[in-house]
Amino acid sequence: MKKLEDKISKNGKVLSDQILKVDSFLNHQIDPVLMQEIGNEFAEKFKGEGITKIVTLESSGIAPAMMTGLVLGVPVVFARKRKSLTLINELYSASVHSFTKEEKNEISVSKDYLSQDDHVLLIDDFLANGQAVEGLLSIVEQAGASLAGVGIVIEKGFQPGGEMIRNRGIRVESLAIIQSLENGKVSFAEGSTL
């Protein structure tokens, strides 16, 4: 997605060979117009798939997921990062390790909002080591729901998550795929805008 790549090139901050900060339009400050365009793009890719629900993870997945849900006309469920006071047997949950933050989170979705009748599109802001997506996939599986695919705003192509998930036969659509952050420069993979 050309406009997203331009935004990353212009406003992303390369903190190291591994870390890209996109706090100015995606993770902390949000650009609503860009989010709308991202939502349109995901909806275009997955329309006609019979999706009944979008599942994402708080907090940075909510904006792109909601814009996609608006276009597809389906509800969005965001997995929470820690257990509320709700009883554990009312939840689907999975353990997710964050390499960036060096912490483990329990993520969970209420059984009320995901079932075997659902055909799910997973949306997340980043795909790097794939831990968050794996956790969400586990939740979809626990619910007995089927999966249409995974929509990612920014994939770090030089980290193993994308390959790992595609190797399971899962359709992954990333709107921007970063090939390298070396020398403080963002390089995109060929064809990431397909």
Residues 49-78 that bind a second copy (CB under 8 A): 58-59, 62-63, 66-67, 69-70, 73-78
b (16+ CB within 10 A) / e for 138-175: bbbeebebebbbbbbbbbbbbbebbebbeeeeeebbbb
Nearer to a second copy, 37 or 173 (CB): 37
173 part of the interface to a second copy, by CB under 8 A? no
Nearer to a second copy, 90 or 163 (CB): 90
Nearer to a second copy, 113 or 188 (CB): 113
Neighbour count for residue 40 (Cβ, 10 Å): 15
Asked if residues 123 and 64 have their Cβ atoms less than 8 Å apart, the reply is: yes
113 part of the interface to a second copy, by CB under 8 A? yes
CA 56 to CA 126: how far, in whole Å? Answer: 11
Asked if residues 186 and 8 have their Cβ atoms less than 8 Å apart, the reply is: yes
Nearer to a second copy, 28 or 166 (CB): 28
33 part of the interface to a second copy, by CB under 8 A? yes
Q: Name which position in 23, 44, 117, 163 contacts a second copy (CB under 8 A).
A: 23
18 part of the interface to a second copy, by CB under 8 A? no
Q: Tell me the two tokens of residue 188.
A: 């995109």
**Tokens 């849900």, residue?**
69
110 part of the interface to a second copy, by CB under 8 A? yes
Q: How many residues does the chain have?
A: 194
Binding positions for a second copy, rule: CB under 8 A: 23-25, 28-33, 35-36, 58-59, 62-63, 66-67, 69-70, 73-78, 80, 84-85, 101, 109-110, 112-113
